[in-house]
Amino acid sequence: MTAGKKVIVIVIGAGAAGMMCAITAAKGGADVTLIEHGKKAGAKILISGGGRCNFTNMFAGPDRYISDNPHFHKSALARYTPHDFLELLTAHDITWHEKKLGQLFCDQKAPRIVEMLVSECTNAGVKLKLNTSVEGILKNSNGFTLLTSNGSLQSDAVVIATGGKSIPKMGATGFAYQIAEQFEMKVNDTRAGLVPLTFTGEDLEFTAGLSGVSQDAMVICNGVSFRENILFTHRGISGPAILQISSYFKEGDGVTVKLLPDMNLLETLKAARQDRAKTNLNVVLSELIPKRLAAGMIARWFKDKTMANYSNAELLKVAEQVNNWQMKPNGTEGYRTAEVTLGGVATTGLSSKTMESRSTSGLYFIGECVDVTGWLGGYNFQWAWASGFAAGEAISII
């Protein structure tokens, strides 16, 4: 390019990653246009954390992410940390609090985060074009030509920040994967992540009957475990622990649930048999887990009788059902309610430092569309900020 000429950048997708990239590149001197097919920026940010925006996690280390390459995201996460984002919030007089497990929430709620990012874009000179869809991207000797619903645009670099397939009613599509494949980049299989699990038949009838019941539990699948609440629903089972484990679950897998992971339930039941012989099992279990859950489990798997009438073998069966519950979900609720999309643009085709395509100069992929997926609790926002910053910084010094 001609010396002194500004780099012309088009960022597609005005979500968390896209806005961070646009802000960073523009502050670095690039001429940035940010395109969004929706009517407003930051749509997913607005619904995050129930509208309170769990914008990062203080423990956002590389081990809290799932990827085909467990080392790929280390560079970006190290160069833009949760503390960096907190500094941005402080500059805008936005306050926050930690809810639990390092999860940071905005005191002024989600719209304030979007307002801050849009303000940063405006102040940096980013041109935001809403209600503009991209119909094609062509590579040429001078860079790229974008065909949009509002005419064609020319640029030196293009950043794809359009997310994954999760929550299609909000406009989510597989656009990023289509562009990657157009430029002959590998796209790993995708599936819904951080999503409720579903059941059929008698299992569904059982969980639906307990809809609304919540319980702290340890959930295990494929050698990975999470300890948080589970929630029974009319479709199956949800709650933080289930959403976490869903990212490690594939159709056909079993899931183990320990409803009282800190207790030797068999010994507790034996003690109750000795000390409270005339008390029914339903009463004893209802003191340990929610009454509806205790009643439902007894009705399905045991006979409710006084503790004195239970043999050791029967008590062992009760303890195993409660603390080693083997579930067999038939699947998940899918992209309709999934918070993220697992898989996506393969990291083998991207630079971990800049997020640029290794095969097509000037083409970048950031955020959820890349095969890097965080745990529940602000981790995916931190990946959005970090990957967006990495690409924006790289573009501004082209």
Other CB atoms closer than 10 Å to residue 6's CB: what's the count?
A: 14
- Cβ neighbors of 106 (< 8 A, separation 6 or more) are 52, 53, 55, 89, 94, 95, 96, 112, 113
**Tens of pLDDT along 337-374?**
999 999 999 999 999 999 999 999 999 999 999 999 99
SS3 state of residue 332: strand
Q: Residue 185 and residue 58: Cα distance in Å, rounded? A: 33
Taking Cα atoms as reference points, which of 208, 225, 214 lies closest to residue 324? 225
Domain boundaries, the chain: 8-192+341-396, 197-332
Residue 134 has pLDDT above 60, yes or no: yes
Homologous superfamily, domain 197-332:
Translation factors (2.40.30.10)
Taking Cα atoms as reference points, which of 39, 12, 117 lies closest to residue 369? 12
Q: Please say whether the beta carbons of 365 and 183 come within 8 A.
A: no
Q: Residue 323 and residue 317: Cα distance in Å, rounded? A: 10
CA dihedral 58, 60, 63, 68 (to 10 degrees): 170
Q: What does pLDDT average to over the chain?
A: 96
Residue 388 has pLDDT above 70, yes or no: yes
How far CA 65 is from CA of 92, 166, 228, 266, 376, in Å, comes to 29, 17, 18, 36, 10
- Cβ neighbors of 114 (< 8 A, separation 6 or more) are 40, 41, 42, 45, 46
Question: Confidence class of residue 203 from pLDDT cuts 50, 70 and 90?
Answer: very high
**Tens of pLDDT along 116-128?**
999 999 999 999 9
Residue 2 has pLDDT above 60, yes or no: no
Query: In 95-213, where do the E strands start and end?
Result: 96-98, 103-106, 127-129, 134-140, 143-148, 151-155, 157-160, 187-193, 197-198
Q: What is the pLDDT of residue 50?
A: 87
Give, in words, the CATH class of 8-192+341-396: alpha beta
Residue 161 has pLDDT above 60, yes or no: yes
Domains 8-192+341-396 and 197-332 share a fold: no
Mean pLDDT of 43-56: 93
Q: Please say whether the beta carbons of 209 and 295 come within 8 A.
A: no
Structure tokens at 361: 């100069």
Q: Residue 358 and residue 71: Cα distance in Å, rounded? A: 17
Q: What is the pLDDT of residue 5?
A: 76
Q: What is the pLDDT of residue 396?
A: 84
Residue 335 has pLDDT above 90, yes or no: yes
* 3-class SS string, 210-239: CCCCEEEEEEEECCEEEEEEEEECCCEEEC
> Where is 22: in which H helix or E strand?
helix 16-27
Mean pLDDT of 97-113: 95
